[in-house]
């Protein structure tokens, strides 16, 4: 992320902070979460996929590692309401150096079954995945990701590596 983009995103956060302080009924936590999610989407990488639930991996195996519409979702790893409180329920906005790590952690997601997603955060354990640098699971909208043969092969290898634990946990 360029220094210019970092500065601009921080400036938008500061503006939201002051809007929340001045009109908390209008800029409530639910609306702030939506606005922060929109800001996260500015970056090319969009949401940062960091894991998959064992249940979702098993369901991917059952479907030959193909995405099934309406079955899977990108669930937030962390409680976004708690993160929003840390960002906005304070006497003054964070400086840019404190804001950026919180902002980049705001969008960490886990592939999960839709039934596993809870308000604000994912409920349950997940298998940590690292796919940096190989252009997998690219977001193309707020709730969807690219799912091609590369993603299917990645999920198959992941299942082969974790099959014992997935079967044990599920």
Residue 166 corresponds to which tokens in the numbers above? Answer: 């997935």
Spatial contact of 77 and 112, defined as CB atoms under 8 Å apart:
no
Domain around 103: 3-169
Q: What pLDDT is stored for residue 79 in this prediction?
A: 79
- According to DSSP, residue 117 is labeled B
Q: In 3D, which of 111, 109, 116 has the Cα closest to residue 47?
A: 109
Alpha carbons 125 and 110: distance in angstroms, whole number: 10
Residue with tokens 């969807």: 144
Instruction: Say what the pLDDT of residue 97 is.
Output: 92
Q: How many Å apart are CA 88 and CA 94, to the nearest integer?
A: 9
**Adjacency order of strands within the sheet including 72-76:** 72-76, 108-113, 48-52, 127-128
Determine the Cα angle at 70 with ends 66 and 73, to 5°: 80
Average pLDDT, the chain: 82
For CA atoms 94, 98, 100, 102, the dihedral sign is negative
pLDDT in the model for residue 122: 61
Looking at the chain, the whole-number percentage of residues with pLDDT higher than 90 is 29
pLDDT, tens only, 29-59? 889 988 887 777 666 554 577 888 899 999 9
pLDDT for res 109:
81
- The C-alpha angle with vertex 30 and arms to 27 and 31, in degrees rounded to 5, equals 45
Decide if 123 contacts 137 (C-beta within 8 A).
no
Question: By percentage, how much of the chain surpasses pLDDT 70?
Answer: 81
Specify the number of domains making up the chain: 1
The answer, yes or no, to whether residue 162 has pLDDT greater than 80, is yes
């Amino acid at each position: 992320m360029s220094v210019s983009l970092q500065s601009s995103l921080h400036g938008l956060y500061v503006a939201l902070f002051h809007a929340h302080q001045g009109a908390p009924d209008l800029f409530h936590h639910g609306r702030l979460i939506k606005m922060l999610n929109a800001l996260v989407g500015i970056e090319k990488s969009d949401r940062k996929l960091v894991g998959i639930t064992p249940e979702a991996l098993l369901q991917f195996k059952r479907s030959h590692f193909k995405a099934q519409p309406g079955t899977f979702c990108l669930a937030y790893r962390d409680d976004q309401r708690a993160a929003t409180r840390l960002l906005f329920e304070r006497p003054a906005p964070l400086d840019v150096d404190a804001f950026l790590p919180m902002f980049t952690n705001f969008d960490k997601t886990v592939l999960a079954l839709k039934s596993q997603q809870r308000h604000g955060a994912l409920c349950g354990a997940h298998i940590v995945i690292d796919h940096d640098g190989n252009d997998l699971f690219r977001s193309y909208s707020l709730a969807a990701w690219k799912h091609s043969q590369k993603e299917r092969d990645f999920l198959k290898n992941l299942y082969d590596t974790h099959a014992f634990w997935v079967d044990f946990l599920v």
